[in-house]
Amino acid sequence: MNTPPFLMGAALVFWGWQSGNLAVGALLGLTLEGLRALRLRVDLGVQEHSTIADLSTVGFVLLAVLLAANRGIGAGILQAFVWQPVALSPIIAAQLVSADRRLPLSALFRYMRKLRLRRPDIKDPRVDVSAVYVSLALLAAGVANQRGPEYYVAVVAGTGLLLYAARPRGASMAAAALLLGSAALIGHVAHVGLAQAQTALFDWVLDLNMRVVDADPYRTRTELGSLGRLKKYDAIVLRVYADEQAAGRVRLLHRGSYNTYLSGTWVARGAGMENLESEADNETWVLDATGEKSAPSLHVRMATRMEGGRALLALPAGTTRIASLPATQLRRNSLGSVSAQLPVDWASYEAQAGPGIALYAPPAAEDLAVPIEERAVLERVVAELGLRGLAPAARLRRIGQYLGGFAYATYRENPVPAGETALGDFLTRTRAGHCEYFATAATLLARAAGVPARYATGFAAIEYSALEGAYVVRTRHAHAWTRAWVDGRWLDLDTTPASWGEEEARDAPFWQSLADLARFAGFRWSQRGEFKASDGWYAVLALLAAYLGWSVLRGRRVLREQKAAAAQRRRYPGEDSEFYAVEKSLPERGASETHAAWLNRIEFSLQNTTQIHEALRLHQRYRFDPAGLSRNDRNRLRELCRGFSAST
Amino acid sequence: MRKFIYRALRITGALDHWLRERLTPAGWLALGMAGAAAAAGLDTTQTVTYRAFTFLAVLLALCYAVSLFFRARLDLRRDLPRYATAGEPCVYRVTVANHGARTLEGASLLERFRDPRPGFEEWRRTREPGEEHRNWWDRTVGYFRWRWLIERRVPRDAGAGELGPLAPGERQELRLSFTPRRRGRIELAGLTVRRPDPLGLVRGLAQLPLAARLIALPRRYRLPEVALPGRRKYQPGGVSLAASVGDSEEFLALRDYRPGDPLQRVHWKSYARTGKPVVKEYQDEFFERHALVLDTGTQRGEDGAFEDAVALAASFVYTIDTHECLLDLLFVGPGASDGHSERDAPQPGVRAYTAGRGQMQSEHMLEVLAAISPSEPAAFSELARAVVARRESLSSVILILLAWDGQRHELLSALQATGADVRTLLVCPESDAPRGGAPGIAHLIPGNIERGLAGLR
């Protein structure tokens, strides 16, 4: 397919505009259009085209590898795709200056070249790849992700021009325009719909699977009353580098607290997120200035997975400072949730905690509220346990003992009976459930007994990995517990049977250890520094490219356009034989005279008759033997002819 | 599992054929770019190439819908030769008449071959030449075998012929051509008239049935001047009996019955007249008779060596002048099997065909060679016995062998012992050739036969 004049240049300028490299795009476009306008041609063969294509491909792959190493595989490959028009420009430049403005198909496919060595009968058509190049430039412009309408307009216009250049014989222009216009219109509606559908799908998937990972500090919906097995995932979302002494304090890592229960959902009412200013080093964040006065009793380094550059940080109770976290933004609420923004896959930070949980908001009316629909059941249990007559700490202990008699279960077979709540059913009938049941029940029982309490969520660091030398926290280690106000401070109360971790670990797939190895490798890879090349390296690269270009083009004949086209038409095997030059230097051969007869005729005037006869034999084999000449014979022919030319 | 793979290959093959038939080069570019745009735009928030994808996908869909409205009312006549030659272009003429009400413009004509996809059993049982060298995955999936089975049935370079504007009632002639990849039968299903949509992305097709078949003869090599010895041999029964059919007609005289004369030769009228048995005596016939013995015993299937051996046999059949001599072609069949109808194939055994002096013509013998297929290597002894049995009548023997072993050596010695002139050509890769060469044997390397033939005298 041919491209109309200036389309290639326009596509490259558009690419430059969209990718923020307008100068590069304009320069490249001008160069290629200039080469197209140029009447000079370079005599490039299959070998030269192949070398240029191979070098361009290698350069492109190297660029992709470098970008993937620096920016992550997905982002790196996309970024390399943006630079594709530049990386592949030598191929199209070689096509534009070659004699027939085409290149052999085998130059683009190494496999085809290998196949042709075995089977020379395979055809190697000469193709024009300019339309492919224009399409790739337009595609690369789209990868740059400028969200304006200009991209779609450019794609429609570019396609229209390409198709106009290759329009079929006798096709109706009106029908073609109608088709193109309809496609542009329907395509526009389709792409808007597609984007909306994908956004909805992503939201749904996130809501379904990643809710635990990317938690909401304002609300958390529980699975109370849900039928079937609770979904569990093994992906590692947090790594905690704590020693044995600190293990007890990092067992529960808090992410969010909620004060209001609304039929299955816990909400953080009156606890808006506020921005936090960092210290001067931009890496230290003080959560509690009063706690700063005494030295922190716990230092623990952690690494958390970021989802779309955001994460609700998991922190041990009583965290007063977060250090070594170069976040672009840190926000927190009065219930102890801290969210960070950092455009990386894994963010590591150090949590420093004081002896107690002092900074969280003191109890309010919400922390004692019991929902009306649960009140009857809770009152009955409170009365059964005789909680009202006990001291607050003793009330919590009694609640713990009471729930300790319940069983841990992630599977629920029967629906909640009509007229009952999931929590009531848990307390009076099933007496089995997962952590959300236990945490909700303990929180509401404490409240019914007059102890202010909140529902807390986060992770439990219960799996130590010898491979990583750290506690690894998986998605299935997401946990819920109660935070109760006793004697003027908040205490964490975990009433879920301690066996829950072991029970869940039993469900781990048999390939988990192998998968963990890959996860560890991926994590270590994400922690590497960015590769940066100095100017010196770029200079070396430029010199290398210049040398390669020179070595490819060295000695190639430069022809005028008409001569080049004529030369192209005259291609036949052995046309580059040096014998022709020898022939020209000798008395003329008759029109119908064979070479042998001609040599016999002029033999008397020659000195090296044996050599010229040998050269003729080799020349004729070079011209007509299907097997061609061996390397040695080819060199011998060259040598004989040069020797002969020199002697005459 | 194999059924599943077979179905997957069949569906992929059909899809590939459909796309090749429908899409123009511009259509391929649009499809490729739509695919690339979809891959790059999987996440619609990361890139905007999904917009290019929707546009190109809708464009292709619209063009496909438009292409479905293409109709052509044409009358076609194809003037096909009876034979083609493997590896040589076969050019023929097609006459097209427009019976429609509108002028047909921008259309092209393409030959359509019978569905070449092999059946499940054939795909499962067949082994592609050199398949044992492929890796486990390729052998299990059998994709290369599938492709090989298809390619051997479909000629290559079957280009489309461009039709000029054809007004209603007008007639036009154009030339089409294809090149058979191998010897054997080629089945043509009909012709397809194609015209691209106004944007030139998708072709509209009108498939017109016009079934025909032709035979692709084996490819032939140019043989050097081979001087076959001209010693004439007594042929009992004359020309006709030499071909094992009918009676000799060269009547010489009547004579008295001698014990041992066959009953068919009794002249009953004279017997009745004279009262004693009288028999007819015929002219003894002496002429040259050559045997071309083709060794088909191989377990490598129709590989390069086998095909070259057949091509070599075809070259001899084509070159030897059978006006003044007889030429016997002997080989072990399963015989005429074209891969389509294994049920109809004759039972294995030695086949003998004779050409010359009013018997088969060399074209018919080439036709036999076009349909030849490999036999069990063990059956060579049968062939050797058949050749030795007729040694007395043979002036010379041309042996084309695929391997060199004790059996073949014995046959050569037995033939040489009778004084017959024996030319032995061994077609096998260099690695399988006897070490240090065997005396009196010309070794030809597959793929490089011409070079070997040049040294033959």
Contacts of residue B33 in chain A, CB cutoff 8 Å? 135, 139
- Give the chain A residue whose CA is nearest to the CA of B52: A155
Strand bridging mode A478-486 / A489-493? antiparallel
- For residues A107 and B362, which has the higher predicted lDDT (pLDDT)? A107
User: In the predicted model, is pLDDT for residue A216 greater than 80?
Assistant: no
Residues above pLDDT 70, as percent of chain B: 87
State the nearest Cα–Cα gap between B450 and chain A, in angstroms: 10
Query: A645 CB near a chain B CB, below 8 Å?
Result: no
Of B25, B106, B448, the CB nearest to A169: B106
User: In the predicted model, is pLDDT for residue B335 greater than 60?
Assistant: no
Query: A515 CB near a chain B CB, below 8 Å?
Result: no
CB A238 within 8 A of CB A303: yes
- For residues B291 and A356, which has the higher predicted lDDT (pLDDT)? B291
Q: What's the pLDDT at B260?
A: 73
Q: What's the pLDDT at A297?
A: 81
State the nearest Cα–Cα gap between A176 and chain B, in angstroms: 5
- Written as one letter, the residue type at B359 is Q
- Exposed (0-12), middle (13-18) or buried (19+): which is A205, by Cβ within 10 Å? exposed
Strand bridging mode A464-465 / A470-474? antiparallel
Q: Which residue has the tokens 């070479």?
A: A595
User: In the predicted model, is pLDDT for residue B239 greater than 60?
Assistant: no
User: In the predicted model, is pLDDT for residue B237 greater than 70?
Assistant: no
- Give the chain B residue whose CA is nearest to the CA of A193: B54
User: In the predicted model, is pLDDT for residue A380 greater than 80?
Assistant: yes
- Per the document, the length of chain B is 457
- For residues A17 and A625, which has the higher predicted lDDT (pLDDT)? A17
Q: What's the pLDDT at A230?
A: 60
CB B277 within 8 A of CB B256: yes
Q: Cβ of A187 and B43 within 8 Å?
A: no
Contacts of residue B51 in chain A, CB cutoff 8 Å? 142, 151-152, 155, 187-188, 191
Query: A122 CB near a chain B CB, below 8 Å?
Result: no
Q: Cβ of A163 and B201 within 8 Å?
A: yes
User: In the predicted model, is pLDDT for residue B116 greater than 50?
Assistant: yes
- Give the chain B residue whose CA is nearest to the CA of A181: B59
For residue A359, how many other CB atoms are within 10 A of its CB? 18
Q: Cβ of A151 and B51 within 8 Å?
A: yes
Q: What's the pLDDT at B341?
A: 40
- Give the chain A residue whose CA is nearest to the CA of B43: A198
Q: Complex ipTM, two decimals?
A: 0.73
Q: Quick check: helix, strand or coil at residue B214?
A: strand
- Calculate mean pLDDT across residues A57-66: 89
CB A558 within 8 A of CB A40: yes
Of B55, B196, B200, the CB nearest to A187: B55
- Give the chain B residue whose CA is nearest to the CA of A174: B198
CA–chain centroid gap for A187, Å, is 27
Q: Cβ of A168 and B51 within 8 Å?
A: no
Q: What's the pLDDT at B340?
A: 39
User: In the predicted model, is pLDDT for residue B243 greater than 50?
Assistant: no
State the nearest Cα–Cα gap between B99 and chain A, in angstroms: 20
- Give the chain B residue whose CA is nearest to the CA of A144: B47
Triad A267, A271, A276: Cα angle to 5°: 135
User: In the predicted model, is pLDDT for residue B97 greater than 50?
Assistant: yes
* Model pLDDT for residues A303-315, shown as the tens digit of each residue: 998 887 888 899 9
State the nearest Cα–Cα gap between A377 and chain B, in angstroms: 49
- Give the chain B residue whose CA is nearest to the CA of A177: B199
Q: What's the pLDDT at B339?
A: 40
Q: What's the pLDDT at A559?
A: 56
> Phi/psi of residue B192, each to 5°?
-115, 125
Treating both helix axes as pointing N-terminal to C-terminal, what angle do B362-370 and B304-319 enclose, rounded to 10 degrees? 170
Q: Quick check: helix, strand or coil at residue A51?
A: helix
Residues above pLDDT 90, as percent of chain A: 31
Q: Cβ of B66 and A195 within 8 Å?
A: no
User: In the predicted model, is pLDDT for residue A131 greater than 90?
Assistant: yes
- For residues A561 and B396, which has the higher predicted lDDT (pLDDT)? B396
Query: A200 CB near a chain B CB, below 8 Å?
Result: no
Query: A77 CB near a chain B CB, below 8 Å?
Result: no
In whole angstroms, what is the distance from residue A597 CA to residue A208 CA? 90
Sorting pLDDT into bands at 50, 70 and 90, what band is A209?
Answer: low
For B56-79, what is the HEC assignment?
HHHHHHHHHHHHCCCCCCEEEEEE
- Per the document, the length of chain A is 648
Strand bridging mode A338-341 / A407-408? unpaired
User: In the predicted model, is pLDDT for residue A535 greater than 80?
Assistant: no
State the nearest Cα–Cα gap between A205 and chain B, in angstroms: 14
- Give the chain B residue whose CA is nearest to the CA of A19: B47
> DSSP letter string over A377-389?
HHHHHHHHHT-TT
Sorting pLDDT into bands at 50, 70 and 90, what band is B173?
Answer: very high
Spatial CA neighbour of B281 closest among B300, B312, B257, B314: B257
CA–chain centroid gap for A594, Å, is 68
Query: A40 CB near a chain B CB, below 8 Å?
Result: no
CB A463 within 8 A of CB A473: yes
Sorting pLDDT into bands at 50, 70 and 90, what band is B230?
Answer: low
Q: What's the pLDDT at B226?
A: 64
Sorting pLDDT into bands at 50, 70 and 90, what band is B35?
Answer: very high
- Calculate mean pLDDT across residues B374-400: 84
Q: Cβ of A166 and B26 within 8 Å?
A: yes
Per the prediction, chain A carries an average pLDDT of 85
Triad B273, B278, B279: Cα angle to 5°: 135
* Model pLDDT for residues B432-444, shown as the tens digit of each residue: 777 766 677 888 8
Q: Residue B409: which H helix or E strand, with range?
A: helix B406-417
- For residues B455 and B173, which has the higher predicted lDDT (pLDDT)? B173
Q: What's the pLDDT at B126?
A: 79
* Model pLDDT for residues A390-448, shown as the tens digit of each residue: 888 899 999 999 999 899 888 777 788 888 888 899 998 889 888 999 999 999 999 99
Of A1, A139, A184, the CB nearest to B36: A139
Of B33, B62, B105, the CB nearest to A135: B33
Query: A168 CB near a chain B CB, below 8 Å?
Result: yes
